[in-house]
């Protein structure tokens, strides 16, 4: 599986030597955190399965829209919009690989109303050091791997995620400061506008 598509099947923030909290952040509080976000932007660093690093920018416009734009020399792009997740390879003249958003864990956090207490994809919820880890997996296709979302408390914040694919390879995405409430233009999620830029 291409490492860019690992974002779709989108953490464990190690906190060695720190005291453990008494209990994980409740799923209801994590749901409230996501529901309070309408727009967001952050830089990210991705640790790939081979140990190499990629960097880029992330934009969110809830519900249903997200954009991962990778820096050079990668220059690839992942967009969630209109119920579809599209993976663009800038070095290819072919169209993007596309997946139904509902079949990816991204649907958990891009839903109009997030309710992790009722989400079938949530298979584990635990405390790990001073972080809370929520593990998501497609119950109908567990062989496709898992997504771990990692949060810190007071205030609740998403810090990173770790994806384990069907071959057991891990990709970790570490978020910089997640800024919220800014204007995020619709053009960032225009799938049709990106297609002519392939192979540039």
d(CA 172, CA 13): 9
Question: Quick check: 54 pLDDT over 80?
Answer: yes
Residue 24 in contact with residue 124, Cβ under 8 Å? no
Nearest to 130 by CA among 104, 150, 106: 150
**Mean pLDDT estimate for the chain:** 84
Give the C-alpha distances (Å, rounded to integers) separating 67 from 118, 119, 186: 26, 23, 11
- Give buried/exposed letters for 168-194 (b at 16+ CB in 10 A, else e): eebbbbbbeebeeeeebeeebbebeeb
d(CA 177, CA 58): 11
Residue 133 in contact with residue 150, Cβ under 8 Å? yes
Residue 109 in contact with residue 121, Cβ under 8 Å? no
User: Using alpha carbons only, how large is the chain's radius of gyration in Å?
Assistant: 16
Please provide the CATH number assigned to the domain covering 5-197: 2.50.20.10
CA-based max dimension of the chain: 52
Q: What is the pLDDT of residue 83?
A: 93
Q: What is the pLDDT of residues 133-150, one digit of tens each?
A: 999 887 777 777 788 999
d(CA 194, CA 48): 25
Q: What is the pLDDT of residue 137?
A: 83
Q: What is the pLDDT of residue 17?
A: 44
Q: What is the pLDDT of residue 196?
A: 59
pTM, to two decimals:
0.80
Q: What is the pLDDT of residues 59-89, one digit of tens each?
A: 999 999 999 999 998 888 999 999 999 999 8
């Amino acid at each position: 599986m291409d490492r860019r598509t690992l974002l779709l099947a989108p953490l464990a923030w190690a906190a060695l030597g720190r005291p453990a909290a008494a209990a994980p952040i409740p799923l209801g509080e994590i749901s409230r955190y996501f529901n309070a976000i309408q727009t967001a932007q952050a830089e990210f660093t991705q640790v790939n399965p081979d140990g190499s690093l990629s960097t880029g920018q992330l934009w969110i416009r809830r519900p249903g829209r997200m954009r991962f734009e990778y820096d050079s020399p990668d220059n690839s792009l992942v967009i969630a919009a209109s119920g579809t997740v599209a993976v663009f390879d800038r070095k290819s003249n072919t169209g993007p690989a596309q997946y139904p958003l509902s079949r990816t864990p991204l649907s958990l956090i891009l839903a109009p109303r997030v309710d992790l207490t009722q989400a079938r994809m949530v298979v584990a919820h635990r405390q790990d050091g001073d972080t809370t880890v929520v593990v998501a997996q497609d119950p109908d296709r567990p062989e496709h791997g898992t997504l771990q979302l990692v949060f810190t408390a007071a205030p609740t914040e998403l810090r990173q995620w770790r994806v384990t694919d069907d071959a057991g390879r891990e990709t970790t995405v570490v978020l910089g400061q997640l800024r919220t409430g800014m204007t995020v233009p619709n053009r960032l999620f225009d799938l049709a506008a990106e297609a002519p830029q392939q192979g540039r």
